[in-house]
Structure 1
């Protein structure tokens, strides 16, 4: 004789009212993540590379098909901003399009620098669709490595350190 189960793993007895909503949100986030993983010039953020040397930061931004006159590079304190617009070559009404994968429109990318660059510290060049920026670090931001000598033996006690007085143990 089989007795009825009091506890079941079957979720149909107690349906989750948020299951469909949760599934839709997970799908929306999945699509959002896929769109973020491929930076695109027309999607608002060009792909960039950032490297650091001893005395500068080097930033390259891919801007294929953009004219130099349509690019703007600016500094607002320690915020580096690259913006501009990629203009369409022809209007869509002139042709019967079958595939259109190239994108047009404005773009914007910004990044915080770990220092505020001095006047004239940014050098910009545009070559073959790639913007090259060199941002020189100010002298105070340049890392200086100092060697520390290691002494042998135990460290001196507080009694032996000049200028420090040892506090006597108070026994109560």
Structure 2
């Protein structure tokens, strides 16, 4: 056997099965594989305009479609969570730490009425968002602090002294 015999796209290669390639060795197009390729292409184009965390899957199917973008940073002394909450006010935000989870939630309500030039416009909007972020053991939730400025929430949770003492640095050596 030669190495070139292992190349699946080689013309006339006999090991290519109709199920794995759209065209068989004889040059005929496999209708099942062609249909599968068309369906895959249709789904790829359908989800293309959506903001996707992973290619090919909408955020809602992955469970991360909460609408809150977060950054989590941890060092020896604290855990810092930064969340984007555009359009929310400080009073609309609820922050809880429970069973190893930091729960960020917010509720936005708006009511607008315009009455001018013979027409009446009434709009009401309502939205609730929530994001749960796992936090490590050894945090001091009683000393947690939160600040909110320009639509960005920053929650800083210090680690307990025991957790800080338990953190061990591992030196990196070159070989």
Structure 2 length as normaliser, TM-score? 0.58
Say if 1:146 and 1:62 are closer, same or farther in 2 by CA, change over 3 A. Answer: closer
Q: 1:82 aligns with which of 104, 111, 117?
A: 104
Q: Number of residue pairs matched?
A: 130
Match of 1:25 among 19, 43, 59: 43
Question: 1:9 matched to which residue of 2?
Answer: 27
Q: Which residue of 2 aligns with 1:130?
A: 152
* Root-mean-square deviation (Å): 3.5
Unmatched 5+ residue regions in structure 1?
A: 96-102, 148-172
> Which runs of 5 or more residues in structure 2 are unaligned?
1-11, 13-23, 60-64, 115-119
Instruction: Return the TM-score normalized by structure 1.
Output: 0.59
Q: CA 1:94–1:35 in structure 2 vs 1: closer, same or farther (change >3 Å)?
A: farther
1:117 equivalent in alignment to 2:139: yes
8 A contact 1:66–1:87 mirrored in 2: no
Distance 1:91 1:72 in 2: 28
